[in-house]
Homo-oligomer: A and B are copies of this chain.
């Protein structure tokens, strides 16, 4: 099975390298091809998502993605910036459903900024829509009537887009504790009003699921006050961006959390939720566990290799139990040594 490896910028290559070692240990069914993406691709080939990279991503059965983002590229025109690569992949491949589990490994209860009793109760999945919203609407710079510069971006969702992601939310809740919370800002936004209307319509197909609605400002509060109340959250692209990063931090280090971005037929792109961290790139300080756990999600969701996924997750837990800690977790291991610790536990 062909896996596209897109290491990207900053710490991307380091965390991908450890992950490939782990994958090679648990299965010999994978074949890897690597291609540049993000700032690295711009520097090498003049575009953050070169045609050959997109082609590889299309051919592959799944994509393992490092991170993109490079301060050298901040002043480029928008369509050439590293971030466009991940946005382009999501859109071109129809990866509309972003699944971000947030749970605290009990070994890391001390890593959260939240009180241990609050953080310890976190066990949720945030489902973020990835193909619509203000990310992909018409946008640009224009002049106002009085000749002043104005930036604008159109936010929108249509009913099919909402229904599709709502179903992922309901299905996910069904496989868990049966509770779905839809987050919007329906008291202000028409986009949110349609979102809420359609989620309610779709809920008729899932009478066994307990549906609730929450405004995004309240959700941001509740994720701090009592994150244990959530099972599955479903929300749009922009609110999902903010809330999932917030939730990840409530659950401890951002170096621990994986994500999957799926299309309609379970093909997916898998990436750690952390970014490229240019400040520590190339120093062996990055925590590879978020990427290793993303690879486990890949085995489970896109490749049908659940047993292998379980083995990886168990090995990560064992490594943590034995005290393996990179600097973000208050330890001294290098990226490679953390990879070694997981391999040793396999």
A residues with CB within 8 A of B: 78, 81, 83, 87, 113-115, 118, 134-135, 137, 139-141, 144, 148-160, 185, 187-195, 198, 216-218, 220-226, 238-239, 241-246, 248-250, 254
Selected contact of A194 from candidates B150, B192, B224, CB within 8 Å: B150
**Interface residues of A: mostly helix, strand, loop or mixed?**
helix
Q: Is the CB of A151 within 8 A of B195?
A: yes
Known contacts A115-B113, A188-B83, A217-B245; is A149 also within 8 Å of B159 by CB? yes
Q: Is the CB of B115 within 8 A of A151?
A: no
A241 vs B243: C-alpha distance in the bound complex, in angstroms? 13
Q: Is the CB of B195 within 8 A of A220?
A: no
A193 vs B150: C-alpha distance in the bound complex, in angstroms? 10
Q: Is the CB of A225 within 8 A of B242?
A: no
A218 vs B135: C-alpha distance in the bound complex, in angstroms? 17
Q: Which residue of chain B has its CB nearest to the CB of A154?
A: B154
Known contacts A159-B148, A217-B245; is A225 also within 8 Å of B154 by CB? no
Q: Is the CB of A188 within 8 A of B87?
A: yes
Known contacts A148-B158, A156-B152, A250-B224; is A217 also within 8 Å of B189 by CB? no
Q: List 26 A-B contacts (CB under 8 A).
A: A83-B188, A113-B114, A113-B118, A113-B226, A114-B115, A115-B115, A134-B188, A134-B189, A139-B190, A141-B190, A149-B198, A150-B158, A150-B159, A151-B190, A152-B155, A152-B156, A153-B154, A153-B189, A153-B190, A153-B191, A155-B155, A185-B241, A221-B246, A221-B249, A222-B249, A225-B249
Selected contact of A217 from candidates B148, B153, B224, B242, CB within 8 Å: B242
A222 vs B249: C-alpha distance in the bound complex, in angstroms? 8
A328 to chain B, nearest CB (A): 11
* Chain B hits for A150, CB < 8 A: 156-159, 194
A139 vs B187: C-alpha distance in the bound complex, in angstroms? 13
**Nearest 10 interchain pairs by C-beta:** A151-B194, A152-B156, A220-B246, A150-B158, A151-B190, A217-B245, A151-B191, A221-B249, A224-B249, A139-B190
A153 vs B238: C-alpha distance in the bound complex, in angstroms? 13
Q: Which residue of chain B has its CB nearest to the CB of A227?
A: B113
* Chain B hits for A244, CB < 8 A: 217
Q: Is the CB of B254 within 8 A of A241?
A: no
A1 vs B243: C-alpha distance in the bound complex, in angstroms? 43
* Chain B hits for A225, CB < 8 A: 113, 249
Q: Is the CB of A224 within 8 A of B152?
A: no
